[in-house]
């Protein structure tokens, strides 16, 4: 999985890149993004784990300030989600700036679709190939883009999406807008940007870039204390982690013990046998059963597994069990 950060020039892409990777002096344009989750902290404390392991993914600062064409466009094929930064810090009209940038992205997809339609027509004339289904779908997408609609929001069916598996259409991927602003910014400027995001179908979150950079200068303990003082809703990294998981339809399950507490990502709706494979291929191959308790039930009894069992909340499940967000798994296997 890969996440790319994009946005207009001087919007704050580098600031967000540094904050999400927790390094004020980061160099280069790629790093590993850890998905923060307070449940890992809590479980680690309960089990006195020696190590905490967060789910993580590659995070790229793509850097281009305008639409994508040619080689730049083709490089986006393996990006699963885009974080687009809107500049409400210096810009007096962040909505207009963001709208112009999103229009550039739409035009990039439109150009790619029109090129593909032209290529199909030429191939049909030379080789008499039958691509009627693909052409019909491409023209449907062309009409939507010409009406400023993101491809992700036009209700494409699963079989239609399969036809696009070899393409790099940007607006087919989730786009989360991060509105970079300063404390005390006129609320109407920010709200108009948020309204635009809602209308076009993009989730958005506010980001106080200057404050977050100042926090990076503190040691980890001071950062945690500041976040606690600001309240549960302030943690930008954790809020972004949750939002990314929501957009990519991911859940988090856990394995925990005195050695380590680990969070694992899994696509929602998959079974415990697939979760076993995430941990190790041998565990999947030798799967016998899974002992399952959900995090909320576990902490309700303060981590007392005996009380969890007595309450009937520890389940023994076979390989068809569908894993839920927050499940703690202890998988029995034999190889």
Query: Is 263 within the bounds of a domain?
Result: no
What dihedral angle (degrees, nearest 10) is formed by the CA atoms of 272, 275, 280, 284?
Answer: 30
241 and 281 share one domain: no
What one-character DSSP code corresponds to residue 190?
H
User: Is the domain of 112 the same as that of 231?
Assistant: yes
Q: Give a yes or no: residue 259 inside a domain.
A: no
- Least Cα distance to 214 among 236, 233, 193 occurs for 236
Residue 255 lies in a domain: no
328 forms beta bridges with 254, 293
In a domain, 152, yes or no: yes
Based on the fold, state whether residues 150 and 182 are members of the same structural domain. yes
**Domain-located, residue 309:** yes
Look at residues 219, 249, 279 and tell me which one is the last residue of a structural domain. Answer: 249
Bridge partners (DSSP) of residue 322 are 271
Q: Range of 322's domain? A: 269-333
177 domain-assigned = yes
Q: What is the mean pLDDT of residues 224-233?
A: 64
Say if 264 falls within a structural domain: no
* Count of C-beta atoms within a 10 Å radius of residue 231: 8
Instruction: Tell me the per-residue pLDDT of 145-167, one tens digit each, with 9 for 90 and over.
Output: 999 999 999 988 888 888 887 77
CATH of residue 313's domain is 3.10.20.30
Q: Is the pLDDT of residue 330 over 80?
A: yes
Can you give the pTM of this predicted structure? 0.86
Q: What is the pLDDT of residues 169-189, one digit of tens each?
A: 889 999 999 998 877 666 788
Q: What is the pLDDT of residue 265?
A: 97
- At 159 the pLDDT is 84
pLDDT over threshold 60, residue 65: no
- In total, how many domains does the chain have? 2
Q: Are 200 and 106 in contact (CB under 8 A)?
A: no
- Asked if 201 and 292 sit in the same domain, the reply is no
Q: Give counts: helices (H), strands (E), the chain.
A: 14, 12
Q: Do 142 and 176 belong together in one domain?
A: yes
pLDDT at 333 over 80: yes
- 154 plus 274 within the same structural domain: no
* For residue 335, pLDDT beyond 90: no
The total number of residues written for the chain in this structure: 335
One domain, residues 59 and 137: yes
3-state secondary structure of 152: helix
Residues 173 and 276 occupy one common structural domain: no
Expressed in angstroms, the distance from the first to the final Cα of the chain is 29
Q: Are residues 222 and 82 in the same domain?
A: yes
The answer to whether residue 14 is domain-embedded is: yes
3-class DSSP state for residue 57? strand
Any residues with CB less than 8 A from the CB of 130 and at least 6 apart, and which? 124
Tens of pLDDT, residues 235-294: 888 889 999 999 999 999 999 999 999 999 999 999 999 999 999 999 999 999 999 999
């Amino acid at each position: 999985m890969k996440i790319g950060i994009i946005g207009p020039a001087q919007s704050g892409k580098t600031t967000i890149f540094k904050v999400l990777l927790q390094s004020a002096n980061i160099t280069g344009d790629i790093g590993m993004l850890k998905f923060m989750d307070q449940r890992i902290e809590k479980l680690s404390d309960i089990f006195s784990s020696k190590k905490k392991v967060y789910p993580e993914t590659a995070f790229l600062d793509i850097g281009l300030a305008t639409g994508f064409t040619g080689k730049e466009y083709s490089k986006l094929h393996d990006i699963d989600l885009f974080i687009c930064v809107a500049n409400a810090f210096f810009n007096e009209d962040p909505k207009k700036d963001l709208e112009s940038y999103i229009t550039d992205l739409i035009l990039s997809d439109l150009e790619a679709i029109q090129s593909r339609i032209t290529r199909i027509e030429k191939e049909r004339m030379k080789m008499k190939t039958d691509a009627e289904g693909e052409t019909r779908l491409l023209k449907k997408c062309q009409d939507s883009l010409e009406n400023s609609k993101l491809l992700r929001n036009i209700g494409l069916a699963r079989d239609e999406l399969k036809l696009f598996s070899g393409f790099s259409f940007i607006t087919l991927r989730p786009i989360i807008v991060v509105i970079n602003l300063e404390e005390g910014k006129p609320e109407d400027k920010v709200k108009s940007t948020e309204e635009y995001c809602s209308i076009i179908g993009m989730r958005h979150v506010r980001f106080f870039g200057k404050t977050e950079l100042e926090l990076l200068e503190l040691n980890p303990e001071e950062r945690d204390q500041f976040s606690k003082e600001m309240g549960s809703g302030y943690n930008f990294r954790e809020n972004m982690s949750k939002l990314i998981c929501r957009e990519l339809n991911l859940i988090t399950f856990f394995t925990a013990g005195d050695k380590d507490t680990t969070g694992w990502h899994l696509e929602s709706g998959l079974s415990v046998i697939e979760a076993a494979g995430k941990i190790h291929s041998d565990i999947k191959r030798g799967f016998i059963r899974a002992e399952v308790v959900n995090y909320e039930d576990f902490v309700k009894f303060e981590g007392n597994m005996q009380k969890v069992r007595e309450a009937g909340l520890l389940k023994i499940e076979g390989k068809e069990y569908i894993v839920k967000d927050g499940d703690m798994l202890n998988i029995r296997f034999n190889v």
